[in-house]
Amino acid sequence: MTPAARISAAIEVLADIEARRRPAADALKDWGLSHRFAGSGDRSAIGGLVFDALRRKASAAWLSGSDAPRAVLIGALRLARGWDAERIQSLFTGERFAPEPLTDEERSALTGRTLEGAPAWVAGDYPEWLDGQFAAAFGESRAEELAALATRAPVDMRVNTLKAARDKVAAALAHLGVQPTPRSPLGLRITVGEDARAPNVQSEPAFQKGWIEIQDEGSQLAALLAAADPGMQVIDLCAGGGGKTLALAAQMDNRGQVFATDSDKRRLAPIFERLTRAGVRNVQIKAPKGKDGEPLADLRGHADLVVVDAPCTGTGTWRRNPDAKWRVRPNSLDTRIAEQAVVLDRAATFLKPGGRIAYITCSVLPAENDETVAAFLDRTSGFGVIPPAKVAADAGQPDLAAFASPAGHGIQMSPRRTGTDGFYVALLRRTA
């Protein structure tokens, strides 16, 4: 397919997403199935165009003067890719498979409009109803913070220290252009350009041997901040596919026990193969037992650490899931806050005196972070917050103390602040 044909296809997919209000991945898959002549490189390029448009949907519409799919894509080419009007016009020719030529209004918007004077929610590309939350989190810099969440994310990997050292893995993956992550001592990063396909890391021998796991640097740091030491009794209460379970087990050098569970046993399915590949031997999987059964009943009052990778809106991962930000609704936020309260109350029952809860979200909303922690402390006696500066220092990451959350209960990472996805980490100690 020509570059112009790819743009036409991206406009078609964006129109499908808008008309049917469904995830971008589903629309792209259906487009590929109905256009089998398109090769993998074409599908990847079209996906890149679609996701760039979704990342910059509000600002692109402002720049173009319209929120129609074609207008949004034109604006995104200008904002996300830095293309000038001449380059864009050279592809909008109306020739075979190319989009129709730019109108006078479209060209005028490209050359004459800017984001100057745009409200924060437009400049930052986020739903207007969340402006109060982002103002509470980031104040006057919220547009810049959220604009960073509208950029492309790199591919980050965590080196599995049970099997290999970072230098060894970096040498094995040198052909992919890997670089050490700036903050995590376990991370490697691949930066992907606008038209480059992300490499299939899972096909690499280093992955097959269990030397690496795909994991954002922010998630790696969250696991490090939890500070699981060898010999501990640790519970991963929302283990899902096991990303943090594996990181915790490696931190513990296969000594002690990690008990991994999840409210939905289907989410646990990938963990078994991942544990085997990673050489992990100190993890027990505890699947839920029916509607009301507690698979960890015998661990009440015995755990040194309970990791709560809480259900959340995922606002901190919008770089990777840009269409999700336009689907989030107030009722979904309310649902997540209620779920967070339930899981924190459950976590508290497993701790022995002096034990800790590591409360983690991939969110930048205070309602899911500081406010959820504050509400837990208000209704639960015998718990206190470990100061973020101490959490950071104990994990060997003292620089992270500079990113304390607004209320000071935890550490708030973000693409603009830390170069990671938006993760929040708070540690709560049982004092009685």
pLDDT digits (tens, 9 = 90+) for 73-111: 999 999 999 999 999 999 999 998 999 999 999 999 999
Could you tell me the pLDDT band of residue 423, with boundaries at 50, 70 and 90?
very high
For residue 262, the one-letter residue type is: D
Per the listing, tokens 């129109």 go with 15
**Of 27-41, 287-301, 314-328, 329-343, the least confident:** 287-301
Length of the chain: 432
* Residue 195 scores a pLDDT above 80: no
Vertex 143 angle, CA 408 and 421, to 5°:
60
Homologous superfamily of the 217-430 domain (CATH): Vaccinia Virus protein VP39 (3.40.50.150)
pTM for this prediction: 0.94
pLDDT-above-70 percentage for the chain: 99
Distance between CA atoms of residues 323 and 337, nearest Å: 21
Mean pLDDT of the chain: 95
Band of residue 290 on the pLDDT scale cut at 50, 70, 90: confident
Among candidate residues 386, 407, 428, 360, the one with its CA nearest the CA of residue 215:
360
Instruction: Inform me whether the pLDDT recorded for 397 exceeds 90.
Output: yes
- Under the banding of pLDDT at 50, 70 and 90, the label for residue 196 is low
Ranges of CATH 3.40.50.150 domains, the chain: 217-430
User: Model confidence at 432, in pLDDT bands (50, 70, 90)?
Assistant: confident
Confidence (pLDDT) at 262: 94
Nearest-angstrom CA–CA distance, 76 and 83: 9
The tokens for 323 are: 């269409």
Q: Using one digit for the tens of pLDDT, what is the confidence trace for 57-76?
A: 999 999 999 999 999 999 99
Q: Over range 378-387, report the average pLDDT.
A: 97
pLDDT tens column, 214-255 = 999 999 999 999 999 999 999 999 999 999 999 999 999 999
Asked if residue 309 belongs to a known ligand binding site, the reply is yes
Q: How far apart are CA 426 and CA 370, in angstroms?
A: 8
* Mean pLDDT (whole number) for 279-307: 92
What's the confidence (pLDDT) of residue 25?
Answer: 93
The pLDDT tens digits for 136-176 are 999 999 999 999 999 999 999 999 999 999 999 999 999 99
Which residue numbers are catalytic?
A: 362
323 is in an annotated binding site: no
* Cβ atoms 281, 332 nearer than 8 A: no
pLDDT band at 40 (very low <50, low <70, confident <90, very high): confident
pLDDT of amino acid 93: 95
